[in-house]
A and B are shown apart, each in its own frame.
Chain A
């Protein structure tokens, strides 16, 4: 059965990522307490190493980590005495998820509409304008766009808060900054998919049936053009996710992306390890869901076969 097979590939991928991340993290010479070694007495350091299992041989540490992972425990943080990695993720996730989902929805809805309108207006002025917008949207990195949005919409015109997190108004600018590039990509993708579909013979058949233009476009055009776009949602989610690192940093949003970037500079290995695994898992599950829904939407692909 395809779903089961695909599910196991997913688990293997998560395991590979965990192992790779673990090896990478522990291949760094020295330990996270190196900077504290001068100020703290040796026994205290020993105690702390014991707390993080750092006194065990590496294979044991690895197995202990895997064991905890299976129980969904990502371990303690080094920087923060009180909050372990699970708490950090639980704290940061709502903001990141809201930002990510809101951006994904904006990118999909407006991207699809723009792509469809452009395709139906092929080589017309709307087409050119949409594609000009799309290509500019793809070209400007979010970390350039975000400061510009802040400068005009927040600082100069005062429409939105400059940074930080709280009300829904706080989410508008970061979501826009994050969504622009994916929106542009979706629009281009949908446009070319739509153009291809509208040239198919079955569209001519629908026309010969006397269906209205709107009926043809929606029932026969958009539906088929969407299929390749669905498979694109996976990479899109990955794109959005890494985008949150930058956006959360610029807008000072307390999300996981910000914790992740901070943990890199603090060399807080359990947090790096934990967030990496968390991010990867979310992405891999997204890819999995996209893959499954793709196969449900397209009757030509059976869920039972591999059909790659």
Chain B
């Protein structure tokens, strides 16, 4: 490929694609205290949350931009009493509406109301396969039993259920049981999500990072289960970052696939983007969403390939993994524009692996729980 052709590709990569998905963080309030929570360390309070009317406007704007899926998340979205109105406004906008919930705080009547208003799909988190483990990890007694009841309502209503299981050293040995539980609950999909190490999870990495042996076994377990359960349970599984050869194309590439609106209306290229110092975020109440997506400073900062340093800049995979995760790069190297240390080509990769293996070896069971 000649230099001119390459430049043309890079220019195209730097332009804003049509977004696919909107992650709407309706609230940061949550009864659970998961030590790997993807919310920022600095949580937004109720008084700063967007109104249901503003959310309706955001959904309409997103749909007009070409967004197809909205993920209603939190915190725990059920902590908002106006959740049914919010769901209805997303449905009215024409968006495929996914509720991401812990199940805790959702009543049977509220759930029936959400279904009546057109909710498409529920993603229910589980922290473990038995009450003792799950409630310890989630930091909430009774959470596990609640989830089992909520799963039954979802399936009885005919709404597709995805079980989301965040995995780490303290529950990865129960992966087979996790798969069995998802089948027993009637889930159509299971997401086996390895913890991503920034924010709360970075703080708790000593207690969470799996051993390489655990990860190797989990890959085998998933491969076997996929064959056995074809047509019963679809399983999404991604090898944990720090033990793979190349990083994940985090968010499908910065400012390429999805956008995230925080409870107070800040628009982020990813849920953890606020950890990156120097980035300026626009707010939905101050600027049209399409303009923020297209030319907002936070979105253009790492969109495409122009911002990259070596080894990314000359890497043939640069438009495949887009440099990996900016937040993880920042957490481990101090530089958000560095190559994700999960990449074997990063000069920080050896240190990340060594630290991971070391941390995985001296298991420290205690967590620093998420708290407001």
Partners in one complex: no
Which residue numbers of B lie inside 8 Å of A, CB to CB?
Answer: none
